[in-house]
């Protein structure tokens, strides 16, 4: 039985493969410190859980939900965006509820990419940008994110012919996997680039609220003219510890959202109403929980960066996401070093090459274990890798 050609072009999902390696290590009796997948370890706040519980008992919520989201949730999203990012949104036309932002990101390619069409995909970057293009029959063209440019794409170095042919471009700041941040000026430049080449900007803002040391990340939609050329994907997963709940949203240009909605309404039936009521509770409830959560991540960031620097790394403190992006020591590639860490030290990290060719030579750490476990990871690396060279 032969699978579709589109499947033949797609590698196994990075984190599914990592899960297999972790399971093998644990089966061998290794106490694995998991710094791999970016899944918050703190519980969802009680008031959100209570809202789900009460809503789930209501028989009216046991039926199909509205395809594009409830009016209450869309209104809450619009108010939240105005309060946190000073962005005005029409909840009727400029807000679309998603089954987690990953779902919407994957489906936007089906809405706009025909076989042979080009997309501009930042490299290193979240693997779904590339895979979503391939599933739609498109051609993902890598846009390098280089340390010397602060891991921002250099719009001037994108070949003009490629830019003219491209249907859309994905950006993601604060950035996964590099933890880089962007400025309002950068987003203004992105708007200009989109206008010049008649392409769509899709900004993945999953980590917009995960910031440290007084820094607040700007929304792409706050840039003048952004709603004319693009949309922003957001999620409740990271700021409210709701990864398993699968609820997010896309906001911005109503034409782009309308096309995405056509795909969605034909392939899914929306988010369970009780989850949407819980999402309203998250967005309208106490927001200081985000600050408390970020303080936890900042302490973990300090523990791992200070620890790695004591072993010979030279890492700067990050301002956003809950990741640390670090170069592999001399003599290793990214997969080799990740495998050695797991085998010798029981420390699981994500090899940078899983995020694209320009991720080779790096590995990603997720700040999703306690400070004590972070420090224990450093101790294990020191004990098992005494002669690291950089």
| Percent of residues, the chain, with pLDDT higher than 70 | 99
| Domains of the chain by start residue, with CATH | 5-43+288-384 (3.90.1150.10), 46-284 (3.40.640.10)
Whole-structure pTM value: 0.95
d(CA 195, CA 26): 51
Q: What is the mean pLDDT of residues 182-199?
A: 98
Instruction: List 235's β-bridge partners, or say none.
Output: 248
Q: What is the mean pLDDT of residues 117-135?
A: 96
Q: What are 73-119's pLDDT values in tens digits?
A: 999 999 999 999 999 999 999 999 999 999 999 999 999 999 999 99
For residue 345, pLDDT over 70 is answered with yes
d(CA 38, CA 31): 19
Which regions of 78-218 does DSSP assign to beta strands (E)? Answer: 95-98, 118-123, 139-144, 166-171, 200-204
Model pLDDT, residue 25:
76
Per the CB < 8 A criterion, the answer to whether 242 and 46 are in contact is no
Closest CA to 129 of 116, 148, 143, 115: 143
Q: What are 217-273's pLDDT values in tens digits?
A: 999 999 999 999 999 999 999 999 999 999 999 999 999 999 999 999 999 999 999
Instruction: List 201's β-bridge partners, or say none.
Output: 169, 230
d(CA 171, CA 186): 11
Using DSSP's 3-state secondary structure scheme, residue 202 falls into: strand
Q: What are 13-68's pLDDT values in tens digits?
A: 666 777 777 788 788 788 899 999 889 999 999 999 999 999 999 999 999 999 99
Preceding omega of 367 cis (within 30 degrees of 0)? no
- Please report, to the nearest 10 degrees, the dihedral formed by the alpha carbons of residues 377, 381, 384, 386 taken in order: -150
Total number of residues shown for the chain: 390
d(CA 96, CA 248): 9
């Amino acid at each position: 039985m032969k699978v579709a050609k589109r499947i033949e072009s797609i590698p196994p999902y990075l984190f599914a493969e990592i899960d297999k390696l972790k399971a093998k290590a644990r089966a061998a009796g290794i106490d694995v410190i998991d710094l791999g997948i970016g899944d918050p370890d703190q519980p969802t706040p009680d008031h959100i859980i209570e809202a789900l519980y009460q809503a789930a008992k209501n028989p009216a919520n046991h039926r199909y939900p509205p395809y594009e989201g409830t009016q209450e949730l869309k209104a809450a999203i619009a108010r939240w965006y105005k309060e946190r990012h000073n962005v005005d949104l029409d909840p009727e036309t400029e807000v679309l509820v998603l089954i987690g932002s990953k779902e919407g990101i994957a489906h936007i390619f089906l809405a706009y990419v025909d076989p042979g069409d080009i997309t501009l995909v930042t490299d290193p970057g979240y693997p779904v940008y590339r895979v979503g293009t391939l599933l739609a029959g498109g051609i993902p063209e890598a846009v390098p994110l280089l340390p010397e440019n602060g891991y921002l794409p250099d719009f001037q170095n994108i070949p003009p012919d490629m830019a003219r042919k491209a249907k859309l471009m994905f950006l993601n700041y604060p950035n996964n996997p590099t933890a880089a941040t962007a400025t309002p000026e950068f987003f203004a430049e992105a708007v200009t680039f989109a206008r010049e080449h008649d392409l769509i900007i899709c900004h993945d803002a999953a980590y917009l609220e995960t910031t440290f040391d007084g820094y607040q990340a700007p929304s792409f939609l706050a840039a003048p003219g952004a709603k004319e050329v693009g949309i922003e994907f957001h999620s409740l997963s990271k700021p409210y510890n709701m990864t398993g709940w699968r609820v997010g949203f896309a906001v911005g240009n109503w034409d782009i959202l309308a096309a995405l909605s056509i795909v969605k309404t034909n392939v899914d039936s929306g988010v369970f109403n009780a989850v949407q009521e819980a999402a309203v509770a998250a967005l309208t409830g106490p927001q200081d929980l985000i600050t408390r959560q970020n303080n936890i991540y900042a302490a973990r960031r300090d523990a791992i960066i200070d620890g790695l620097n004591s072993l010979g790394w030279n890492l700067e403190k990050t301002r956003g996401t809950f990741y640390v992006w670090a170069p592999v020591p001399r003599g290793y590639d990214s997969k080799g070093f990740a495998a050695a860490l797991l085998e010798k030290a029981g420390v699981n990290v994500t090899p940078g090459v899983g995020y694209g060719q320009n991720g080779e030579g790096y590995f990603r750490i997720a700040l999703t274990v306690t400070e004590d476990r972070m420090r224990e990871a450093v101790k294990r690396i020191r004990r098992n890798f005494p002669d690291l060279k950089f």
